[in-house]
A and B are shown apart, each in its own frame.
Chain A
Amino acid sequence: MRYLPKSPADREAILKAIGARSIDDLFAPIPAEYRLNRDLNIPRQMSESEIVDWFRDRSRENGDSYTSFLGAGAYLHYRPVIIDSLISRGEFLTAYTPYQAEVSQGTLQSIFEFQTMICELTGMEVANASMYDGSTATTEAVMMAVRLTGRHSALIAGSVHPEYREVLSTYARHQGIALTEVGFLETGRIDLRKLEQSVAPETACVLLQSPNFFGTIEDVEAVADIAHKNGAMLVISIAEAVSLGIVEPPHQADIVAMEGQSFGVPPSFGGPYCGVIATREQYVRQMPGRLVGQTTDRNGKRGFVLTLATREQHIRREKATSNICTNQALIALMVNIFMTVYGKVGLRELAKQNLAKTAYAVRQFSKHAEVLFSGAPRFNEFVVQTSEDPYAINSRILGHKIVGGLPLKKFYPELGNAALWCCTEMTRRSAIDTAVGLVAESQRAVKSASEADVEEVAR
């Protein structure tokens, strides 16, 4: 086996040194009746070239070379090549959690920079070293608000990513946290009147996503006012990090839960991604996850360590702020490098290109179908309502090697034949034009079919 560094002679020598007759001696503690006396029934050992071939075939079966209009929590942005050059360095790739600070300063300093940049981008004062993803970060942020306020219910905007809401409800169920949904208006924004009516003395927080699942940018200030007036916290979830380049950050929030995937992390069929929680300094001791802090060594030299560990499971056990242990350090490094590459000016220009492509697509689609939620600003996603079922339209579009918007029936049946489309800086105008053309064709076909019906009735 090519990963194993011992010759048969080495194994013999080690057995002899130990004083064992055979390897079986070492497995004697396992009762004989449970020992496996056969080969595992798994594929045989393969050469490297066979492994490469097998996965290349799977890659080809997986939408290789399609143009996609999908977003909805997983975005295709350009990844600068130096991200992979740098994260492939074995010193980053094959190190573990920086428990031993003296030989982990590289990881620790890069996390410290990550925490700083997340603060700058979100308008918060502290950020942690990462969470699993946006859905679990959002969930943990709500649980954090419950701990901080001592209240036990939460108001959740219906325009928060449906799968984030599912994860939250899985976690909340056994912690006695009651979740109430607040709907959205025709602008796509949360219904402020409903929110005002629903907020109660028991409300720990309001959870809002902005830009929300439909791409609509919420009026964070108005929601913050309602929450704070009632002693509740505002938790803001951000699924599309690139929006922060041009959309005002949620300064009024108490906790921000973010998905960093847009910043240089491949969509990778849903993971691994990089969640992160940011908040105000005063709340840091209720924050879940790892934190890196600056300190000095015995000679007064600057250095970095994992800190405030008394919040964590390995110290507090059942009284910890969360059960999280492993986080997403390598993905956080991708995010960090991406933010560094684009920097202060590039992040804005990148976001602006997303805005321009989306504005163009919205204009084109509007000529042939209804684009919902146009009464409020949006970032890079929009909802198109068609006469025909979007699944049917998508299956025709797929023939042109284009993946159409996400049909929303599964999550929002009340929106009818609606689909969520996304444009990023990667979306070509020609692809937009082709997709719009096919949607227009579908609309015309449905229209002429219904006109034919009318004529028939008239005769």
Chain B
Amino acid sequence: MKHITRKATRHISQNEGLIFEKSSPGKAAWKLPPLDVPDVDTRQLLGASERKDLGNVPEVSEIEIIRHFTRLSTWNYAIDLGMYPLGSCTMKYNPRVNEVVSRFEGLANGHPYQPERISQGALRILKTLSECLIEITGMDAITLQPAAGAQGELTGLLMVRAHHQSKGHPRKRILIPDSAHGTNPATAATVGYAVENLKSNSAGMVDVAALAVQMNEEVAALMLTNPNTLGVFEQEIHKIADIMHAKGGLLYMDGANMNALVGKVRPGDFGVDLMHLNLHKTFSTPHGGGGPGSGPVAVKKFLEPFLPKPVVITKPDGSLGFEYDRPQSVGRVRAFYGNFGMFVRALAYIFANGPDGLRQTTEDAVLNANYIRKGLEGSYDLPYPTPSMHEVVFSDKLQAKNGVRTMDIAKRLIDYGFHPYTTAFPLIVPGALMIEPTESEPKEEMDLFIEAMRSIAEEVEEDPQLVLTAPHNTRVSRLDEVMAARKPILRWKPQ
């Protein structure tokens, strides 16, 4: 390698096959206690329903399982190893105290149907988190039920629909900016709405004049991410809200980028009618390799009757309980009450921060994104010079001249010891490099990142082939995704 990376060094990585390849009959990692009731004749109890064979489920010992998954784990990059600047994913530190408190016996083993009398602890957590999130968003009511951001969107649009229906007409369309996340249009379709695209202006913001033309009595709502996926705050947000409200439409905010706003500004104060939050982004619950998430939806007072049921209430005797009698509710979006374990973690995060900590967190997140921006300006093309909040989007325009695209740069970044940024999104920037450092990065880590990115920009000029064939230091080189899709192998089969 011509450029020496200061971030990472190669080291030994253990090989490991599939668990099925280690199986052999008679090995076991389990032991049940002796039965304290009479044994049963399974054939007599189950008859034809008795299972004869469990196929290729493996048989292995405990040490093999520990080694298997530990070895696999070392093949992953993670926040715990370093900067993970996926834009709009908010890969921040996941505090370990959250993991400890969520495993306390009464919380981890709490059954969703246990009597309310012995559920006051869980109910208190639901209520306290609800109050905190309502205050943080500047809204009036909330549901914690949605299991992830996309389900939050779905819940939100169901409420939008119910609201319009209550006025006599559910309306037909949802406006969605061209910079939006793919879940927005997919969700609108699920709720039976047509999607109408809204073009961004040259500053990367909603074109307010175009919005005014497109808005009419058939538009149910605008789904707006703010700051948007360019990391740009919609400065004319009050005009946007006014245009929507003047014709009876609602302003839905996708809260994916709430990490730019907490403690500094509240969506409820700038005209948002309803919004979802991603507890796994803004509120530090672990991403876990792709979930679980949690997508609470906060709403203004007039939408409260439509919240999914049940809702938490305080009873006359001061105890907490669930209320199911909600005639205008959109119904249930998930069994039970949502991803409770994530509520515990998010609340622990809020407690650890307090009002001052949350504000400082937001300030640091914005500070970091602007530091990265400053460090990479000149080396990479900045398609929208509009001020950045918590993330910054570059394009591969300068590198494309040498045939190197955003994905190639991303792969090369892996060799330098970093997880790549988000590639090729938002769609309005051809060849996008979407970078969100979050508040969790120290200055030293960002300096290394900037150094790595600049070094790659130089490599593109001097030896583009080096970048095009990256990564060079990983267990596997670039994988054949075309073959994977053309001839899908989606499970292991015995030879």
Contacts and interface: CB of A to CB of B under 8 A. Distances in A.
A313 to B, nearest CB: 4
A82 B65 contact: yes
Given A135-B334, A268-B340, A299-B477, A340 B29 contact: yes
Closest 7 CB pairs of A and B: A330-B288, A270-B336, A45-B354, A90-B80, A62-B121, A64-B106, A61-B121
A297 to B, nearest CB: 4
Interface in B211-259: 232-233, 235, 237-238
A435 interface: no
Interface in A61-119: 61-66, 68, 70, 72-74, 76, 80, 82, 84-107, 109-113, 115-117, 119
A372 to B, nearest CB: 17
B286 A352 contact: no
B146 to A, nearest CB: 9
23 contacts: A4-B360, A20-B370, A34-B266, A52-B101, A59-B121, A61-B106, A94-B79, A100-B77, A103-B76, A106-B72, A245-B54, A247-B51, A272-B340, A298-B478, A316-B186, A317-B185, A330-B286, A330-B292, A343-B60, A348-B54, A356-B37, A359-B37, A377-B49
Nearest to B407: A100
A66 B118 contact: yes
B264 A325 contact: no
A102 B479 contact: yes
Q: Which of A86, A94, A284, A377 has the most CB of B within 10 A?
A: A94
A103 B474 contact: yes
Contacts of A84: 103
Contacts of B84: 94-96
B14 to A, nearest CB: 11
B164 to A, nearest CB: 12
Given A269-B110, A323-B187, A403-B115, A3 B352 contact: yes
Interface stretch (B149-157, B297-305, B394-402, B451-459): B149-157
Contacts of A60: 106, 121
Contact of B287 (A96, A103, A167, A348): A96
Task: Say which size band chain B's interface belongs to.
Answer: 35 or more
Interface stretch (A151-159, A190-198, A227-235, A286-294): A286-294
B107 A94 contact: no
Contacts of A68: 111, 114
B30 A343 contact: yes
Contact of A163 (B48, B109, B332, B363): B332
Contacts of A296: 479-480, 483
A444 interface: no
Nearest to A15: B367
A331 interface: yes
B465 interface: no
Given A293-B489, A318-B195, A344 B58 contact: yes
Interface in A248-286: 248-249, 266-272, 284
Interface stretch (A21-29, A179-187, A200-208, A446-454): A21-29
A48 to B, nearest CB: 5
Given A96-B89, A101-B479, A268-B110, A59 B28 contact: no
Contacts of A174: 158, 161, 190-192
A346 interface: yes
B235 A29 contact: yes
A40 interface: yes
B265 A30 contact: yes
Interface string B308-342: 10000000000000000000001111111111111
Contacts of B94: 93-94
A63 B488 contact: no
